[in-house]
Chain A
Amino acid sequence: MRHPFELVAVTPGSMGCKPPLRSPPPSGRLRRAGRSPLTDQGVPMISRQSIRSLALPLSLGVALGSCVPPPSQPAAPAPATSATPAPAAARSGARPLAPLTRAEQNALPAIEQTLVRPPGLPPPITRRTPAKVVIHLEVREVTMPLADGATYTFWTFGGSVPGPMIRVRRGDIVELHLMNHPSSTMPHNIDLHAVTGPGGGAASTFTAPGHQTQFTFRALNEGLYVYHCATAPVGMHIANGMYGMIAVEPEEGWAPVDREYYLMQGEVYTSGNYREPGLQPFDMRRAINEDPAYVVFNGRDGALTGTNALTGRVGERVRLFVGNGGPNLISSFHVIGEIFDHVYSEGGSTVNTNVQTTLVPAGGSAIVDFGLEVPGSLVLVDHSIFRTFHKGTLGMLRVEGPDNTVIYSGREVDEAYLGDYAPQAAAGTDGAALQPGEQTFNGVCSACHQRTGAGLPPVFPPLASSDYLMADKTRSIRAVLAGLSGPVTVNGTVYNGAMPPLANLTDHEVADVLTYVRNHFGNHGDAVTVSEVAAVRATLVTPTPSGHP
């Protein structure tokens, strides 16, 4: 879990400082590709070098106390920028954003984004200047596996659930084309939470089957945002798979990592129960009752397990772009066997550190990263854990590499443990059977006779090495059950007190405690049995109830 970034974790006192994770990304990774359909292209890899090269500048930054101006607070807007009215575009976002004129917008280089099938995603952005990013997103209604043997007609962005991740840089112009395939039953649209504007683009992209629409927006706020179809009934469109995410990188980028993955949780409301085979129809009643048959990562049971498991190597740093399409449930996202070193909570700019489980709201996100220290399978779950066991929120990240037994030893001991199932010694000898009697003695008898059994002469007679006790077993039983009054001589000393009856002890407890005292404190005798106690209890003049319930 330890890594250079921990040194500069954001604390309340440093909230105004530039968050530590932002740093110039490595150069030379810009992908400019023509428009192409979703590919199975692998997850982008970043060299191991990048993380090492980052450590030094960050440490220096802290040592020198480098700090950018604090983000403007709602209560006290930054005075420096208030002298001249800022263009509308500059008002959004926690930090100032250079305005863009229409002419500048038109002059931006156009980049068609290559869409990648989840859990892959576009590579980090290395541009240092804005661009016009062109997205062609096709809506298709397709029947796909939901679990082994079970299928479902998903409504999708780009043919996958979730839809492909869009990746742009803060300040970019995004030109989004939404194409509704002619075979679609439904009209669809897209509401991107990264959009500043009515409906997030929903009205502008409302598209009949066999038609296409287009709209353009400027990405004013950085962060990780959900997009989804917003056509009524919206819950059904989302439940059918119409959600994805758009990452708006800060202008300086996110800190480089070795691997990035993209996953989204979502519910599926089928008439059949979990893993019931066949083509499963949408169940409206279950959806309204928020009672999904499935809660899964990336659209199906097992999307991230087995041969589909995510992979990593010891020594690498992994970032997960985690979203929750919902439509109803909040995810308690957790990776078994890891601790999130950093969490961009809710996909925003505040970095939390050392987090075990992070909430991902329906229609929200989180960015988490962690270092891989030891090999093994990490398990991705919604820690609302019945969903993992019975509904499908289970993913795997397989980590390969050498062991580090200092950090994690692996199994060191594996042997039988019997607890109180261990074989009991015969009652009446020094063995486990004495233990219950000891408890009764300590709880009941020792108040007078003392823990040592020595009593408190001349008021309470001793049980230790007691001639009176050992002389007559039946008398001792009767003394416990019926009490004892009047003078008795114990070890040569006369005691004239009164012992209260303890008839509320069970026969078993009386047998145990007498066996205990008859074999402790210097005494040596045979066991008192339950039947002996019962026999004495039966002789008592006034029968008392046989023990407490």
Chain B
Amino acid sequence: MIPAARWSSTLLLSALIASAATAWGQRAPQSAPDLRVIRGGEYRPFYRLTGRERVTVRAFALDARPVTNERFLAFVRANPAWQRTRVRRLFADQDYLAHWAGDAELGPAARPSQPVTRVSWFAARAFCEAQGRRLPTEGEWEYVARASDRSPDAPRDPATTSRILAWYGRPNATLEDVGASRPNYWGLHDLHALVWEWVEDFNSALVVTDSRDNQGPGVARFCGAASSGAADVGDYVAFMRYAFRQSLRGSYTVRNLGFRCAADIAPGE
């Protein structure tokens, strides 16, 4: 299953898992500087439209921070096909990396330590694959997003919610550097209130694109009807994340949409 080139990182992760296991139940496990190991679990999904009452997440690993301009610059230097003037329109729209100074140059509008934005899903995916990793699934991302500073499962923590909602009240002019915010229970920085993040299956929760289909979950997306399938109508932050993902297509790039990578952890090791 795992290509030979990736053995090393998988083995490393397995070792980390083993060492972290003893600390479970007290603190989020620690790992390499860029990766955090997330133990498996299950939760009640925000939208029940798939018919599942619980979502099960197997143990995995996730970047502690969103991918930066600096890291993405290294990627496009090594993979010129993903440079701004060379990328195929099918894979990234015309605003792809538009704030960079050039194909392989950040320039004044893109600090190295800012999260990379204006990247398409295809590009984000290619980046992660080049690292031997992958995009997290929506289920995984939402699982870790439920954490507050102290608890792995606090989607309604008032302090966290108001902090995230306050983000929307701030003019969206400049982006902070990654890692500036306090990590959550899992040791993950910037899950909220910096950039939106791509996930592998960003459009899976509500798949149809036009309610004239008049079937399937799409009928419940808008206005008051959006509350009908929601597990918790008070979770405004989750509403926004799901709404944002549903507005996307794979080639879209957005000024405040970035990503981070995940990695599998081999079961039973």
Q: Chain A residues in contact with chain B, CB under 8 A? A: 141-143, 152-153, 182-187, 189, 191, 197-199, 202-204, 206-211, 230-234, 236, 279-282, 284, 288
Contacts and interface: CB of A to CB of B under 8 A. Distances in A.
A282 B240 CA distance: 14
B172 A203 contact: no
A231 B241 CA distance: 11
Contacts of A281: 162, 165-166, 169
Given A143-B171, A236-B236, A281-B169, A209 B221 contact: no
B168 A182 contact: no
Interface in B89-132: 95
A206 B170 CA distance: 23
Interface in B211-227: 211-212, 214, 218-219, 221-224, 226-227
Contact of B169 (A184, A203, A234, A282): A282
A232 B222 CA distance: 6
A198 B212 contact: yes
Contact of A206 (B224, B230, B246): B246
Contact of A207 (B209, B212, B247): B247
B243 interface: yes
B244 interface: yes
Given A153-B168, A209-B255, A211-B252, A191 B240 contact: no
29 contacts: A141-B172, A152-B169, A153-B168, A182-B254, A187-B246, A191-B223, A197-B212, A202-B222, A202-B223, A203-B209, A203-B211, A203-B212, A203-B221, A203-B222, A206-B247, A208-B248, A208-B249, A230-B222, A231-B222, A232-B226, A232-B230, A232-B240, A233-B233, A279-B170, A282-B168, A282-B169, A284-B161, A284-B162, A284-B236
Interface in B124-151: none
A203 B210 contact: yes
Nearest to B163: A281
A143 B173 CA distance: 11
Contacts of A282: 165, 168-169
Given A153-B168, A230-B223, A279-B169, A199 B256 contact: no
Interface residues of B, number: 44
A152 B170 CA distance: 9
Contact of A187 (B162, B214, B223, B243): B243
A209 B218 CA distance: 20
Contacts of A280: 169
B8 to A, nearest CB: 38
A189 B222 contact: yes
Contact of B224 (A153, A182, A234): A234
B234 interface: yes
A48 to B, nearest CB: 43
Nearest to B166: A281
B75 interface: no
A186 B218 contact: no
B240 A233 contact: yes
Contacts, number: 114
B253 interface: yes
Given A231-B222, A232-B226, A284-B161, A210 B254 contact: yes
B239 A199 contact: no
Contacts of B243: 186-187, 231-232
Interface string B232-268: 0110100110111011110011111100000000000
Given A182-B95, A234-B226, A187 B244 contact: yes
A468 to B, nearest CB: 83
B171 A153 contact: yes
Contact of A199 (B165, B211, B249): B211
B192 to A, nearest CB: 12
Interface string B160-194: 01100111111111000000000000000000000
Contacts of B170: 153, 279
10 A-B pairs with the lowest CB-CB distances in the bound complex, closest first: A187-B247, A232-B226, A230-B223, A202-B222, A208-B247, A230-B222, A281-B169, A203-B211, A198-B211, A233-B239
Contacts of A202: 211, 221-223
Contacts of B227: 232
Most B CB atoms within 10 A — which of A189, A202, A203, A207?
A: A203
A288 B257 CA distance: 29
B37 to A, nearest CB: 31
Nearest to A240: B168
Contacts of B167: 185
B207 to A, nearest CB: 13
Residue among B172, B248, B253 facing the most chain A CB atoms (10 A cut-off) = B172
Given A203-B212, A284-B234, 5 more contacts: A185-B167, A186-B243, A203-B222, A211-B247, A281-B169
Contacts of B230: 232
A203 B223 CA distance: 10
Contacts of A191: 222-223
Nearest to A281: B169
Given A153-B170, A198-B211, A185 B256 contact: yes
A284 B248 CA distance: 26
B132 to A, nearest CB: 30
Contacts of B95: 182, 210
Nearest to A154: B169
B221 A186 contact: no
Nearest to A153: B169
Contacts of B239: 232-233
A281 B164 CA distance: 11
A281 B170 CA distance: 8
A309 B233 CA distance: 40
Given A211-B252, A232-B242, A183 B172 contact: yes
Contact of B168 (A185, A198, A207, A234): A185
Residue from B218, B222, B242, B246 having most chain A Cβ neighbours under 10 A: B222
A211 B93 CA distance: 10
A268 to B, nearest CB: 12
Nearest to A231: B243
A203 B247 contact: no
Contacts of B162: 281, 284
B120 to A, nearest CB: 12
A204 B221 CA distance: 12
